[in-house]
Structure 1
């Protein structure tokens, strides 16, 4: 069976009982009831990790460490030593920026794109134009453009990469257009630069922001050959507060940590002269981490498998079969792709409405309507029970490149628990909003409407 049983999937969640039509999933997904229950079940054994000899501490530590194994398996990473956890994708990308900061030399450059979420642009802007200049270093920031359909211009990207390109940063999927750049081609472009890295490699490093790619795709970091990949669990059914950074082990071995303090130090490894780092991945877990958040986030992945297929991975810590991960994410991808196509078809029937991006995309649709503010659209949809989102979606560069004023669109986005009825309710609400505006704009009987274009009554 290839389709999703959405009735069964929705039974895991509380939001349907509230009558909500949740179509803002590109921002955050809803947490299943089982994850909230998991946090409650952890309460009797609530204790810190890596710091105690109590049964509670050892038990919590085992659950916490096993979570890294689950995340590594989900990404097909070589092991837990390639995984670091942070608060979100933004912090994970900042961790890469700070870890590389001292490796940059005068004349180097960083290449990113006009498609990026601010989280994958602003840190590099700050690095090249604010932080490194204060240290007396000159590093250039280069931006690859996109075409009229919102696809990354790979030829332009290739023209920006040269032997002084230390790092290429790109989105795995645009949170505005829904476009998915060809990561294998970007990897080849980054390789062609031939930058001599401190670790001995001769290639530009590649960082992928997978925040919009991870929720509907099976990610294989070894097949993609990415150096860094970041995503947030709050877009993958887990509660807020946990982001993941995957990095190749030799990069984490070489790099300086982003944060310093307790637990990231080897046992007894501090003297007045030296500090010795802890083993990976704990080198990157300074201080008390978000223990319960990491546990719940890893279990969200296991629960996702159980929702889609008749499996029993939730609550456990055993290996996750790669074939199950790929099959489940393929089903989720097909389901959300069908919802997105249905949405685009419904919106295409509405006059003066423009959808941004190509036909094939991740499950989000950004649009504008002539003469109506995107914010007014989202507010009108909310009054009709539809949860959309208006704004630049943190893709400010792309909105400005299109000349949108204000730099904003209205966006509908879908997850595995959405149904065709959700899509129809959303598109009907957009249609009703437009019709209501047009009725409100009609002249009252017996009065002339002045046309500013013609300069005379009509």
Structure 2
């Protein structure tokens, strides 16, 4: 089954659409330099259709644009469209092979031990809910979950519901504790979090990067705090489990789940160039082995192992893949990772649509370039917005490690009016609480903030257009 039936454009194979390797010093925040540390942004942008429309896309923290190769991939897969795992046809076997290879690519991207530790869902939210439901029966009276005020609603509401709505119906009392953050810097108060973790803390849930404040908590230190709590897990292991919401971390930051020592990590591909519909849950193998599934039926059942008095589940990772999966979406999502590596690096042969395993060293090099590029864009935006009268930016200042976004308010102006005025200038910002309701409420920002957020394909011109438009709007009052 080694036949390669995909199509790769001649321009991509020849390297005509790939950036040239180059080494450059990182410029100052306002210098007009189109590329940073070897990332040729203009070559990358040539793979997307949105630049031709004149759009200034600065809502990338919500969702990214999709390169045309991935849209075309759906068309090229459809002649062999078929279900996976159960079919005897050549089409089914081909699709199964491509589908399963996608799990290997995803595992390599985050340095997971194998595909057995990867489960796919519709998005980050569903992946986090899967953890909640899989652990539901393990909570004991007096246990607690620790999360934070900087979380996206998706990493707070499930734990709130668990403690306040679900488990009380079973007569079980579990507490949801919430760590605070520094209002000036946007940084998580790790000392406060440490004070909330005790021997009854089953799980610690934190965001790897805030989608509002931009802050990135020290995951290594949090891992140590969770481990030191001493909670006795059903396996006999001591220490709280650690779940990281990586929805904002994964798109522009290198992730190594083994180095981080996380128990669970979730992210969505629609923030990583792929079309909507696929999220990932990484979990340590032993946890998945003993955990109950979130969804039951269909492909998660072992072949022929269902009887009136006994049901056996399939091997990992398919134990957590009930029903017919989003086959094309998973394949396209994994190919989005391969294409991103191609666009960030100049080395041949192309990784996109290659049947060869993805090289972890390529992932490291590609993501280091992407991270350096978006850090420069963010510093540039922070430096330029700093001169706009009445504008206040939330989160860490320029030069501090943060996710590539800035959320801000302008004195006397509704953030939604700012976003609407920016849209009239062709700049697609976003206003509201960004599903970070806890932090906005804690800061007294009931009407929310306006946010600009950047991606690997964002260039200096996009940043300058956005900031210039913002400055002009503020001047007009």
Category of TM-score, reference length = shorter chain: over 0.9
CA offset digits 1:309-363 (Å, max 9, x no partner): 1241000232222221111101100100111111111111100000000122110
- Which position in structure 2 is the counterpart of 1:302? 338
- Which position in structure 2 is the counterpart of 1:365? 406
Superposed CA RMSD: 0.7
SS at match of 1:53: coil
2:458 pairs with 1:423: no
TM-score by length of 1: 0.94
2:118 pairs with 1:83: yes
CA distance in 2, matches of 1:104, 1:40: 46
CA distance in 2, matches of 1:383, 1:275: 58
2:99 pairs with 1:67: no
- Does the 8 Å CA contact 1:70/1:317 hold for their aligned counterparts? no
CA distance in 1, matches of 2:270, 2:294: 22
SS at match of 1:382: helix
- Which position in structure 1 is the counterpart of 2:450? 410
SS at match of 1:167: strand
The structural deviation recorded for 1:389 is 0.3
In structure 1, runs of 5+ residues without a counterpart are: 438-458
The structural deviation recorded for 1:380 is 0.2
The structural deviation recorded for 1:39 is 0.6
CA distance in 2, matches of 1:384, 1:403: 29
- Does the 8 Å CA contact 1:67/1:317 hold for their aligned counterparts? no
CA distance in 1, matches of 2:459, 2:200: 48
2:51 pairs with 1:10: no
- Which position in structure 2 is the counterpart of 1:291? 327
- Which position in structure 2 is the counterpart of 1:117? 152
CA distance in 2, matches of 1:339, 1:110: 36
The structural deviation recorded for 1:231 is 0.2
**Across the two proteins, how many residue pairs are aligned to each other?**
436
2:367 pairs with 1:332: no
The structural deviation recorded for 1:374 is 0.3
- Which position in structure 2 is the counterpart of 1:314? 352
CA distance in 1, matches of 2:86, 2:330: 17
Q: For residues 157-306 of structure 1, what are the structure 2 equivalents within 5 Å?
A: 157-306=193-342
Q: For residues 424-439 of structure 1, what are the structure 2 equivalents within 5 Å?
A: 424-437=464-477
CA distance in 2, matches of 1:65, 1:3: 33
CA distance in 2, matches of 1:74, 1:341: 27
The structural deviation recorded for 1:3 is 2.6
- Which position in structure 2 is the counterpart of 1:27? 62
SS at match of 1:211: coil
In structure 2, runs of 5+ residues without a counterpart are: 1-21, 23-36
TM-score by length of 2: 0.91
- Which position in structure 2 is the counterpart of 1:396? 437
- Bigger Cα Rg: 1
2:384 pairs with 1:384: no
